[in-house]
Structure 1
C-alpha cells in the first residue's frame, strides 16, 4: 500500500474515523467521512478506482468495506490493522492512540 501511495497510483483513501481521531494522526491525501456519514455521502465516493477504507484498527473499516461492496463498490479494500498497523509498519513517527 505504501508503495502505491508513493507512486501516486490511482487509489482513493477513505478515512472513516471521527474528526478527533484524525486530529491525532492522518494519512496524507485521505478523504474523511466518519463511518456514520458514509451512507448519506456515498455519492462523493468514486466508483472508477479502488477505495482503501481506513479506521483505527480495521474493525469499522471492515464494516464500511463490506457495506460499500454491497452497494456496488467492487474495488473497496479494508486496510487491515488500520492506522495502528500503518504507524507500526509504514510511518513509525505517526502518533497512535
Structure 2
C-alpha cells in the first residue's frame, strides 16, 4: 500500500453541504464527546467519541467512505488516521469541524465554546 492511500483527505464545509444536499454522503461520523454532541450535530451523523473509536470500529467496518468531524478538525483528523489504518478505503476530515460548517455552510447548526 502506498503512502497516498493512507491519507486522510480534507473536505471543505461547502463541499460537505453540497454532498449532503445531494444525498452523496455514505457515512458521517461525529467523534466529539457526548456533551458536545448534545449541543449540536450534523443531520444523520453517527456519534462515536474518539476515545471509543477503536473499541466500536465494528459499527463502521462495512463503510467504504466516511466523512469525520469534530469541533475544529483536530480530533477528527486523528480519528481519520485510525479509520485508514483499520482499512476504510476513503476517509475525509471536515476542515474546521462543525464550527466552520456552522459559519460557512449552515448557520442553523448551533455553535458552542469548548469547556477545556
Aligned-residue RMSD, C-alpha: 1.2
Structure of greater relative contact order (alpha carbons < 8 Å, 6+ residues apart) = 2
State how far apart, in whole Å, the 2-side matches of 1:41 and 1:27 are: 20
Where does 1:70-85 land on structure 2 (aligned, <5 Å)? 70-85=85-100
Q: Deviations over 1:6-25 (max 9, x none)?
A: 11114200000111101111
- Could you list the runs of 5+ residues in structure 2 that have no partner in the other structure? 1-15
The TM-score, its normalising length taken from structure 2, stands at 0.78
What number of residue pairs does the alignment pair up? Answer: 97
State how far apart, in whole Å, the 1-side matches of 2:25 and 2:66 are: 10
| Greater gyration radius | 2
Structure 1 ranges of 4+ moved more than 2 A: 46-49
Name the residue aligned to 1:11: 26
The TM-score, its normalising length taken from structure 1, stands at 0.92
